[in-house]
Amino acid sequence: MNLAKFNSVYFIGVGGIGMSALARYFVEIHKKVAGYDKTATPLTNDLKKIGVNIHFADTVEFIPDEFKSSEDTLVVYTPAVPKNHSELNYFLDNNFVVKKRSEVLGLITQDTFCYAVAGTHGKTTTSSILAHLLATANIPITAFLGGISEDFNSNYVFRGDEVSVVEADEFDRSFLKLSPNIACITSMDADHLDIYGSHSELIASFHEFANKIEEAGNLIVRNGLPIKGITYGIEDNSDYSIKNKRVENGSYVFDIKTPKQLIENVKFNKPGEHNLLNALAAFTMAVETKTPIDRLVEGLESFKGVQRRFSYRIKEENFVLIDDYAHHPTEINAVYQALTDVHPSLKLNVIFQPHLFSRTRDFADEFAASLSAFDTVRLLDIYPAREEPISGITSEWLLGKISKSDKKLVSKEELFNEINANRTGVYAMLGAGDIGQEIVKLTKQLTYEN
């Protein structure tokens, strides 16, 4: 399908992190862009500032007239939109071209040299590091990121249209719409079982994704995954391996062994071995495509991070507030490991907002074990996102499985008093729901009260 024939693009769910990046792309290439979303957010506010017409009620009458021509308008929607959505059904009933976000991303990137980052964890950080590394090496990239890069202050980067960097999202099998030239797989842990039904089906989908890579030998995989490719790891026999890791002044310093050389005294500032692995995956992809190593080393040291990925909101000697998107037990474990690396002497407190009833049900015991590692545990109600409640699956039910004695349910309204009453140690606020908006408010309250 030729996207050039459309002068207008209408988004249903325009405020999503992936959808908003696509909206920015179409604004960049001078298309008329409008859309619907459920609620106003900083992302929708930013889109409005660049001329995107957005409304927040599912009402066909609110669709601007210039987007009601089926010949001229492409409609893009997110799978999170319910099937009874009136605007979606209006476009379907009136023979508009209606595509999922992943299909459009595939069309945009099919004629570029496409770097695709896949995995149940680490996609956003790895793709953001990769975009930063390639930009540091003056590679003309377009990047569609699943978070706000602190290096670009955006989830969308446009430096040229010959090379693309994308997240290959396994949700809804979206990554099978891509045509990657080189890809990496960071992890294949069980997740999205509401889509796949079983872990084995999820793994089979990753194998199908790997088979889409155009050239043999262009798959990068974390060492130990059940899939063949160029491997990366830490202190192991991988093709690319981090050696001699140490912490100096809060940053990691290490060597990288490649198939051809040893690169010494590389620096990287984001805490946690999971972030080191993400950095190494991005580095490996760039090296394998002949990007100059000296620029890549420079890029690793200068990488600032991604919002809501181990983001410091308050960092005092004895009081630290951290914001992270972690919403799976493996990700919670990674945050805990990072905290023990960089704040070994501080008490570790976690405030967690479970994301999805189905995920809470499917991984309840794993969540309980991960959260029980912290010194204190506070749970918010489950964030439903696209789901209806499941009988018996609540935060109170999950709390009962947590072995830590200092645990309780809290409301959003109680968070300030909960933290301010004992301003010592690390408070890690974790989750993929609206807890990220809450921490913005809390940071203002806590810094004002201090």
**Per-residue pLDDT at 193:** 66
Q: Same domain, yes or no, for 83 and 169? A: no
Name the stretches of the chain with pLDDT < 70.
192-193, 449-450
Q: Same domain, yes or no, for 127 and 63? A: no
Q: Same domain, yes or no, for 202 and 264? A: yes
Instruction: Answer yes or no: is 273 within a domain.
Output: yes
Task: List Cβ neighbours of 89 (8 Å cut-off, separation of 6 or more).
Answer: none
Instruction: Answer yes or no: is 183 within a domain.
Output: yes
Q: Same domain, yes or no, for 209 and 115? A: yes
Instruction: Answer yes or no: is 105 within a domain.
Output: no
* 73-77, strands of its sheet edge to edge: 53-55, 32-36, 8-12, 73-77, 97-100
Residue 356 is part of a domain; what is its CATH number? Answer: 3.90.190.20
Q: Same domain, yes or no, for 385 and 416? A: yes
Choose the final residue of a domain: 67, 100, 133.
100
> Which DSSP string corresponds to 277-342?
HHHHHHHHHHHHTT--HHHHHHHHHH---BTTSSEEEEE-SSEEEEEE---SHHHHHHHHHHHHHH
Total number of domains in the chain = 3
Q: Same domain, yes or no, for 152 and 236? A: yes
Q: Same domain, yes or no, for 284 and 240? A: yes
Q: Same domain, yes or no, for 132 and 216? A: yes
Q: Do the Cβ atoms of 296 and 283 come closer than 8 Å?
A: yes
Instruction: Answer yes or no: is 71 within a domain.
Output: yes
Choose the final residue of a domain: 76, 100, 124.
100
Choose the final residue of a domain: 269, 302, 335.
302
**Per-residue pLDDT at 80:** 81
Instruction: Answer yes or no: is 223 within a domain.
Output: yes
Instruction: Answer yes or no: is 373 within a domain.
Output: yes
**Reported pTM:** 0.85
Residue with tokens 């605007």: 87
Contacts by residues 147-151 (CB-CB < 8 Å, ≥ 24 positions apart):
147/17, 147/306, 147/307, 147/308, 147/309, 147/325, 148/306, 148/307, 148/308, 149/304, 149/306, 149/307, 150/304, 150/305, 150/306, 150/307, 151/302, 151/303, 151/304, 151/305
**Per-residue pLDDT at 450:** 46
Q: Same domain, yes or no, for 119 and 66? A: no
Instruction: Answer yes or no: is 431 within a domain.
Output: yes
Q: Same domain, yes or no, for 201 and 58? A: no
Q: Same domain, yes or no, for 72 and 194? A: no
Residue 70 is part of a domain; what is its CATH number? Answer: 3.40.50.720
Residue 117 is part of a domain; what is its CATH number? Answer: 3.40.1190.10
Domain region containing 16: 3-100
Q: Same domain, yes or no, for 27 and 85? A: yes
